[in-house]
Amino acid sequence: MTAKKTKKVTKKIAQEREYIIPLRREISKVARHKKTPKAVKAIKQFLAKHMRVPEKDISKIKLDIYLNQEIWFRGIKNPPTKIKVKAKRDGEVIRVSLVDIPDRIKFQLAREEKKKKSAEDIKKAKKTEEKPIEKKSEEKTEEEKKEEQEKKQAGSELEKKVADTQAKEAKHTQAAPKQPKVQPQRKALQK
């Protein structure tokens, strides 16, 4: 009598998979002007089934921006008949992206990377500029602070006086009379 070994069978759910999803059968079922939305739904249903999403909930499947652009590239009436995708599991959510990225999308990705890089450079430059300014403000003495406040007050008073005088002058000046619009006289073309 030998002891039988019992194996625990655990369902190992894949974290990342690649699929070629056939869309032709699904999009042929609907009217011409609804084909691409149906293709998007078909991709989500296919992945819900094959990635073993609980209750086949398609709201937990998120398509990549570039995958969506690729599906919609030829318009609402003519989506691709099959598409190769990569599905990744992030907790309960499944993120779907293209496997083979077309050249036009590569250029778009490069442009966005460049924009992000320039934005980061600008942020770094602003941070470095702010630090020296703060050091200078701490070094000022009380007398300098008082002088600056007096200058600000004097400047604001001067601005008020200038604005008042300009307003008075504007009241007393008379606006030039408006000239009526004259339409050009229409003439018959010579034959």
pLDDT value of residue 49: 94
Identify the CATH class of 16-100: alpha beta
140: left (phi over 0), alpha (psi -120 to 50) or beta: beta
Whole-prediction pTM: 0.57
Compute the distance between CA of residue 14 and CA of residue 11 in angstroms, rounded to an integer: 9
> Please, which residues bridge with residue 22 across strands?
82
pLDDT value of residue 78: 96
> pLDDT, tens digit, for every residue of 38-74?
999 999 999 999 999 999 999 999 999 999 999 999 9
Give percent of the chain with pLDDT exceeding 70: 87
pLDDT value of residue 34: 95
Contact yes or no for 140/147 (Cβ under 8 A): no
Q: What per-residue string of b and e applies to 88-104 under the rule 16 or more CB within 10 Å gives b?
A: bbeeeebebebeeeeee
Look at 25-29, 74-78, 170-174 and tell me which has the smallest mean pLDDT. 170-174
**DSSP conformation letters of 31-68:** -GGGHHHHHHHHHHHHHHHHTT-GGG-GGGEEE-HHHH
* pLDDT for residue 75 is more than 90: yes
> pLDDT, tens digit, for every residue of 124-164?
888 888 765 555 555 668 888 888 888 888 888 888 888 88
Compute the distance between CA of residue 80 and CA of residue 69 in angstroms, rounded to an integer: 11
Structural domain boundaries in the chain: 16-100, 105-160
What tokens does 70 get? 């690729």
Closest CA to 83 of 55, 113, 103, 63: 63
